[in-house]
Amino acid sequence: MQGIGAAIAARLRESGAQVELWDVDGAPQVDVADYDSVVAATRRSLDKLGKIDVLVNNAGIAGPTMPVVDYPLADWRRVIDIDLNGPFYCCRAVVPHMVKAGYGRIVNIASIAGKEGNPNAAAYAAAKGGLIAFTKALGKELATSGVLVNCVTPAAAQTAILNQVTPDFAKFMLSKIPMGRFVKVEEIAALACWLASEDCSFSTAGVFDISGGRATY
């Protein structure tokens, strides 16, 4: 666990939460692109914690930086599997338990790319745009259940995911941010953890920008 996910987990722990990390590099390993793996992780977490109050869907990859006409089919599928199917699998597994308890907070970590698109990163933009729409749909489905669903759309952060793109593409993303810097993972964590809290009580199906002024709608 690193980057945005690690920052959110640390802040949740500081607030007194018991945190379970579902990570492909963890022990036990959890592959969010594999529904059976997610179901097994849900069962383990419930056995250990007794309930799940908060679900943060943060796992993601950038994929290669190249035009659509050259984009490898396997890479397209992998980005969609992790960045979009993963949150769907996690929500499908966890939501019934939250609904039964009458309480839950789901926070999906999307991206400003999902609203505005980035050239040569179509898979990532498509996955994050889909996650935004998924958030809106699920939030409306659960609006009267006590389970609130929101997403965060950060601009680029200085995390390991930047190592997956070319230096020129990183410069391009930075050039789009009016504040002239990448967002800090601690800033994203602060917003995500408010959305994960009881203080967030009348926001659902919402999209919360943290883009340094990049967002245009």
Scan for tokens 């400003």, then name that residue.
Answer: 112
Residues taking part in catalysis: 124
Q: Is 55 exposed, middle or buried (CB count within 10 Å of its CB: 0-12, 13-18, 19+)?
A: buried
Ordered strands of the 104-109 beta sheet = 54-57, 104-109, 147-154, 206-210
**What is the Cα–Cα distance from 85 to 30, expressed in whole angstroms?**
14
User: In this structure, are residues 90 and 41 in contact, taking their beta carbons and an 8 Å threshold?
Assistant: no
Strand-pairing partners, residue 83, are none
Backbone phi, psi, residue 104, to 5°? 180, 155
